[in-house]
Structure 1
Amino acid sequence: MLDLRGRLSRWVGRLAVRRIQKQGIDLSRISIIPEPTKVPLQRIGTDPVPRLAEIRGEGALHKLQLPFSFNAYLVSGYDETRTILTDRGSYSNDIRHLFHGDGPATSDDIGGLGFTDPPLHTRLRKIVNPEFTMRRLSRLEPMIDRIVKNALDEFEDAGSPSDLAKHLAFPVPFQTICELLGLDYEDREAFAALGSARFDATGGGAAAFGAVSAQREFLFEAVARQRKEPGPGLIGQIIRDEGDTISDVDLAGLADGVFTGGFETTAGMIALGTIVLLRDPAHADLMRHGSRPDVERAVEELLRYLSVVQVAFPRFAQQDMELFGQQIKKGDVLLASISGANRDPSAVGEDPESFDPFRVPKNGHLAFGHGIHRCIGAELARIELRAVFPALLQRFPDLALGVHESELSFRQLSFVYGVDELPVTF
């Protein structure tokens, strides 16, 4: 789930790969999303639109009809998605050459693990890997429990009815990531708004990349301050360990990836997961009173079922090749639909469109991606979700939606799915 920003650019983006030098196309200036590309970003409530399942049934690769005469292919089957995400040699994730210096975002705004290739990716991941081992993360559990308790206290103090997205789903991952990175909490509302805006594709590239640039400014300033006086968190630790061998751009990119991936995605999971659990009293009761294995299995099913990260990092073909029986040319874009793959009956088993907390799937879900770009914060997200759902439902056994589910403000076109508000009563 980490480091997902700006995906919008690259799939609209391959138009630049062939034409950027000739036409000067800047992805950050694109103001609309072509209609055929919207399907993997659209939903009806918590479910992908039916067209996505139809595309999956039509074949391994679905060519998107896009302007500018470039090729992009959507992959929505489980096996095909896993194959592409596993292949570290045939594709590139680097898109920095697609940005001009005078647009809403520049190449300096694009960094982090998700948009780099080996050997740079290998070096950067090696820097942050030690902080995300289970041994290191287990030390954070008391802190996360404290953050959850404090958020639930504030949620209760706000009174019923209340907005669970504002008072719980946002503060828990936000404060967790701030403490992990060593950031202060000033400007958190502005930062949160930018976090949502950068994944919103409704306004095209210009609006999303404007949010990217604004949000990165916070982190460039934080890195500059900690260069002088390293703090106790991850940013300060990297500066102490790496010194000047890591640039401000790369360090801010790492921090940005950890922050945006670990915040917006987990916030979406908490809000949407609560909606799903409240649909069936038995499911809420399982999360409330179930054993640790019960809770862990239910969280994994929520991750599969919701797939809040809807599309994986786009892959640019590095050479001409044959893929699933079709000819792919160098520079073509492969877009892997995570929400489509996680609903594939061949991998999930019976009734993949339903939430079943007792499900034992045939294969592991792809909610965190796969391969070298798999979400580095996967275990951190799991720890937070396993803490927040039981605590919420135990504390408020009569928790209920404040409006009918059809009235909720689900995001209409976003790379990271969620709700803007979640009114509840208790």
Structure 2
Amino acid sequence: MSRHVWSDPDSFVKTPAMAVAVLRDLELPRIDRYLDEIAERGGVDLDALRRLSANTLVAMSGEAHLRVRRVIAPFFSQSGLAPWRPMMEEACRSVCEELKNASDPDLVRDVTIPLFLKVMPRILGLDLPPTPEHFQAAETAQRLTEPYLSLPTLRALNQAARLLVSTCPQTGAGEGSAPESLLACLRRRRGDLPDGLEPEYFVVGLLAGSNSATQSLAFALHGLLSGPAQLWADAGGPAWGAQETQKLLGLYQSTRTLVRVANEATDVAGCPYHKGQSAVVDIVAANACLRADSLRADRGTRQSHMSFGSGAHRCPGVFLSEMLIETAIPILARTFPDITLKTDECRFVVTPMMQAPTALPCSLDKTSRRVSARLCDIRDMGSAHRILKDNDAFAPPPMESHLTLLSQASGEDLDEATRIARNALFFMDGPRHEVLKQVLMRFLGAAQLQPWRSVVDAALDKALQELSAMARPDLVSGYSDPLRRSVMTRILGISCRDQARFDAIAPQLQDVLEPWLSMRKLRRVQAVFTEALSLMQVPAASEGPPSLLEHLVADAPAGFDEADLKAVVLVLYGASFNLSHTLSNALLSILSRPPEDRSAASGQAWVEANIDELIARCSGPKFIYRVARTDLSLGDLAMKAGDTARLNVHVLNRQSPAGKGHVSFGKGLHRCVGATLSVMVLKAAIPAIFRRFPNLALDVQAHRYHPMSETVALSTLPCIFSRTEPEND
């Protein structure tokens, strides 16, 4: 046997009935036997690990296993854990108070890890110091049940076991206190336990296992906060825990697979297994089947997941995990109703057996504040609406005048950068802006875009065909971006002497969206735009309606020469990358939902009903910038003339019910001129891909983001075309 047991996901056990049979009839891989093989090689001290392994339920069978289960069952029952609920609630409130003071809040570092350290050692009976070293030891020891570990990992496990056992109090310490810890209970009932069982090592093993409960809590927080805002709003309700905990444990349990081994030739539910053959139970797939069965039968929810296993070795901490979820999440949701995840900064650990967040950075509130001498972060919708709609009080960043002054002061030639700023709508103000916007809206308005639907449809067909041919399909490079490029080059009129070179440098055009660039970045952006402009040419007449550039050149607005008009179109093309970012983010969001929730995404009616919410939550831009024209106040926030207001788009959009009134495209005079076109493409692209690939699924946590300060932009979104879970038993 080896780690190759996970190499063929198609061979995994996915149906609930077969999963139950495998978990009942086959054995767990025994790390103690593996340790015996290591010991035979000599020279390796793994004594603490051997003792830890020998004192786990995994290592027990028969009467010894039953005796231990009988002793701990009352402790881990709902009534047995009830006396610990006040302590858990107080720990949650304490964590919330600490989170309020976090300078850079993270729901793993500042919530789930501290909660683990405050709760689990006390219940189990350890005097575990709340230090990173001791948490790391518990996290390392959690790998105890993972088979086929390397020798360095086994040494680390041994060291972790030694450190954790040293935190057990001396016999007699704390005895008689209420509620009674598990260690005290085991010591009191030592006569009921199997001979040779060491209670200290036993509770350390359970401590390591209990970290999966806090990992599942972190996973559930990620799921709730990356979904529609209403999910988090509902979580603060009084009955939420009782109604939703089982569903969350089925969806966000950190366990991905469980491994069992046939110690002898046997038959399991009609399927033969030879001696030494392993079976991998796909818990995620089995849970999906159970949810589907439950929905069809309209059953209750307790039977709707196998996240804690099944059979004799079912996890004893079921009710402890339930109590943690149903206690912690409502307290967090009520204390911090306006949490917004920084989705592109979230990180996961993924192994064949588990997955869990390792970082969940977030914003905690919707209070606007000053973050520097000249910069204010705008997070409340009232202030945002005033800023976006009151053109007398707030202007776009005056980049043309800024670059002119910067060029004069530095002696740097910034003529091309100044030309770009003068022709970028999001930096323009006054009559020149009004003239250009009117011309553009006569081309990009809803009625005027109807003739372009055939172009969008053709681009969709081509993108889907090319995606289907990819050996390693990726929804960014194989769908969202090719679709954007095909649609926008035709509609905007991007025609180049060297298209390959233009496409290579085009992603850097996005940097123009950020104001106040450093001189180093400014030089780079100017060089890219200068080269791109040199490659551009007015498209030759072709079938179909004339492109935007052709339209502009044929009837140039007053004050714009051909170079200006090419710059206008080039800036719009750079801004169009936000379409592919938003589409990719939306696809990730939909594919991250349970299969039963995402199945409707192939329907046009669903997309029409949900497009605002998707754009609000999944839009690429992080910020919109405006500059105060005069001294003024936004509530308690005083701003001086020249101060920059940075509107925090995703924090603001969380305040938009079902996405209605979101600010992803801005508002007022400076609302994005490409909004209607973007929505048209999104409405076509989202259902099209799910109609073409109804069993589309993510490659688990394999997506990655560009490290961009202004945009939430996926760099890769690997997927698979076939379903990993069957429809039913």
Question: Under a length normalisation based on structure 2, what TM-score does the superposition of the two structures give?
Answer: 0.45
CA offset at residue 162 of structure 1? 1.6
Q: Is the 8 Å Cα contact of residues 216 and 252 (structure 1) preserved in structure 2?
A: no
CA offset at residue 216 of structure 1? 2.2
Distance 2:614 2:458 in 1: 23
Query: Counterpart amino acid of 1:317?
Result: A
Distance 1:181 1:307 in 2: 21
Please state whether the residue corresponding to 1:145 is helix, strand or coil.
Answer: helix
Q: Is the 8 Å Cα contact of residues 200 and 413 (structure 1) preserved in structure 2?
A: no
CA offset at residue 222 of structure 1? 5.7
Please state whether the residue corresponding to 2:494 is helix, strand or coil.
Answer: coil
CA offset at residue 278 of structure 1? 0.8
Task: Find out whether 1:261 has 2:575 as its counterpart.
Answer: yes
2:342 aligns with 43
Match of 1:411 among 696, 706, 709: 706
2:310 aligns with none
Q: After superposition, what is the alpha-carbon deviation per residue over 1:259-288, rounded to whole angstroms, capped at 9, x for unaligned?
A: 1222x1111112111111112223431111
Q: 1:205 to 1:139 in 2, by over 3 A?
A: same
2:669 aligns with 372
5+ residue gaps, structure 1, are 1-35, 349-358
Q: 1:368 to 1:168 in 2, by over 3 A?
A: same
Distance 2:485 2:340 in 1: 24
Match of 2:435 among 123, 129, 139: 123
Match of 2:401 among 93, 97, 101: 97
CA offset at residue 326 of structure 1? 3.6
Please state whether the residue corresponding to 1:139 is helix, strand or coil.
Answer: helix
* Aligned ranges 1:157-172 → 2 under 5 Å: 157-159=469-471, 161-172=472-483
Q: If you compute each CA radius of gyration, which structure gives the higher value, 1 or 2?
A: 2
Query: Counterpart amino acid of 2:447?
Result: R
CA offset at residue 155 of structure 1? 0.9
Match of 1:64 among 351, 367, 371: 371
Please state whether the residue corresponding to 2:645 is helix, strand or coil.
Answer: strand
1:318 aligns with 629
Q: After superposition, what is the alpha-carbon deviation per residue over 1:122-177, rounded to whole angstroms, capped at 9, x for unaligned?
A: 01111211111111111111110110110111111123x22221111101111111
Q: After superposition, what is the alpha-carbon deviation per residue over 1:7-37, rounded to whole angstroms, capped at 9, x for unaligned?
A: xxxxxxxxxxxxxxxxxxxxxxxxxxxxx99
Match of 2:589 among 276, 279, 282: 276
CA offset at residue 208 of structure 1? 4.3
Distance 2:505 2:340 in 1: 23
Structure number with the bigger relative contact order (C-alpha 8 A, sep ≥ 6) is 1
Q: Is the 8 Å Cα contact of residues 507 and 574 (structure 2) preserved in structure 1?
A: no
Distance 1:245 1:260 in 2: 23
Distance 1:177 1:390 in 2: 20
1:152 aligns with 464
Query: Counterpart amino acid of 1:419?
Result: L
Q: Is the 8 Å Cα contact of residues 506 and 574 (structure 2) preserved in structure 1?
A: no
Q: Is the 8 Å Cα contact of residues 409 and 419 (structure 1) preserved in structure 2?
A: yes
Distance 1:374 1:179 in 2: 23
Distance 2:541 2:561 in 1: 15
Please state whether the residue corresponding to 2:694 is helix, strand or coil.
Answer: coil
Query: Counterpart amino acid of 1:167?
Result: G
Please state whether the residue corresponding to 1:246 is helix, strand or coil.
Answer: coil
Query: Counterpart amino acid of 1:80?
Result: S
Query: Counterpart amino acid of 1:152?
Result: L
Task: Find out whether 1:184 has 2:498 as its counterpart.
Answer: no
1:304 aligns with 616
Q: 1:216 to 1:148 in 2, by over 3 A?
A: same
Distance 1:77 1:184 in 2: 42
* Aligned ranges 1:8-407 → 2 under 5 Å: 43-45=342-344, 51-54=362-365, 56=366, 59=367, 61-65=368-372, 70-93=373-396, 94-99=398-403, 100-101=406-407, 102=412, 106-110=417-421, 111-159=423-471, 161-184=472-495, 186-187=499-500, 188-195=502-509, 205-206=518-519, 208-221=521-534, 225-226=537-538, 232-242=546-556, 245-248=559-562, 250-262=564-576, 264-280=577-593, 281-288=595-602, 290=603, 292-312=604-624, 314-344=625-655, 347-348=656-657, 359=658, 363-402=660-699, 404-405=700-701, 407=702
Q: Is the 8 Å Cα contact of residues 467 and 478 (structure 2) preserved in structure 1?
A: yes
Q: Is the 8 Å Cα contact of residues 509 and 571 (structure 2) preserved in structure 1?
A: no
Distance 2:438 2:532 in 1: 21
CA offset at residue 217 of structure 1? 2.6
Please state whether the residue corresponding to 1:327 is helix, strand or coil.
Answer: strand
Q: Is the 8 Å Cα contact of residues 493 and 549 (structure 2) preserved in structure 1?
A: yes
Q: Is the 8 Å Cα contact of residues 628 and 644 (structure 2) preserved in structure 1?
A: yes
Q: How many residues align?
A: 358
Please state whether the residue corresponding to 1:367 is helix, strand or coil.
Answer: coil
Question: Under a length normalisation based on structure 1, what TM-score does the superposition of the two structures give?
Answer: 0.75
5+ residue gaps, structure 2, are 1-102, 107-338, 347-358, 722-729
Q: Is the 8 Å Cα contact of residues 230 and 240 (structure 1) preserved in structure 2?
A: no
2:352 aligns with none
Query: Counterpart amino acid of 1:75?
Result: I
Distance 1:324 1:285 in 2: 44
Query: Counterpart amino acid of 2:674?
Result: G
Q: After superposition, what is the alpha-carbon deviation per residue over 1:315-359, rounded to whole angstroms, capped at 9, x for unaligned?
A: 121112233234322111111111110012xx42xxxxxxxxxx4
CA offset at residue 396 of structure 1? 1.1
Query: Counterpart amino acid of 1:275?
Result: L
Distance 2:413 2:673 in 1: 30
Please state whether the residue corresponding to 1:336 is helix, strand or coil.
Answer: strand
Distance 2:514 2:647 in 1: 18
CA offset at residue 256 of structure 1? 2.5
In the TM superposition, structure 1's runs of 4+ consecutive aligned residues that sit over 3 Å from their partners are: 39-42, 44-51, 103-106, 195-201, 204-211, 229-232
Q: Is the 8 Å Cα contact of residues 177 and 258 (structure 1) preserved in structure 2?
A: no
CA offset at residue 45 of structure 1? 4.1
Q: Is the 8 Å Cα contact of residues 411 and 418 (structure 1) preserved in structure 2?
A: yes
Distance 1:373 1:222 in 2: 29
Q: Is the 8 Å Cα contact of residues 345 and 361 (structure 2) preserved in structure 1?
A: no
Q: 1:326 to 1:196 in 2, by over 3 A?
A: closer
Distance 1:144 1:328 in 2: 44
Q: 1:265 to 1:46 in 2, by over 3 A?
A: farther
Q: After superposition, what is the alpha-carbon deviation per residue over 1:201-255, rounded to whole angstroms, capped at 9, x for unaligned?
A: 9xx73564345324423553366x439x788311121111127741345323321
Distance 2:605 2:394 in 1: 37
CA offset at residue 310 of structure 1? 1.0
CA offset at residue 51 of structure 1? 4.7
Please state whether the residue corresponding to 1:340 is helix, strand or coil.
Answer: helix
Please state whether the residue corresponding to 2:391 is helix, strand or coil.
Answer: coil
The more displaced of 177-186 and 99-108 is: 99-108
Distance 1:267 1:215 in 2: 20
Query: Counterpart amino acid of 1:44?
Result: T
Q: Is the 8 Å Cα contact of residues 155 and 168 (structure 1) preserved in structure 2?
A: yes
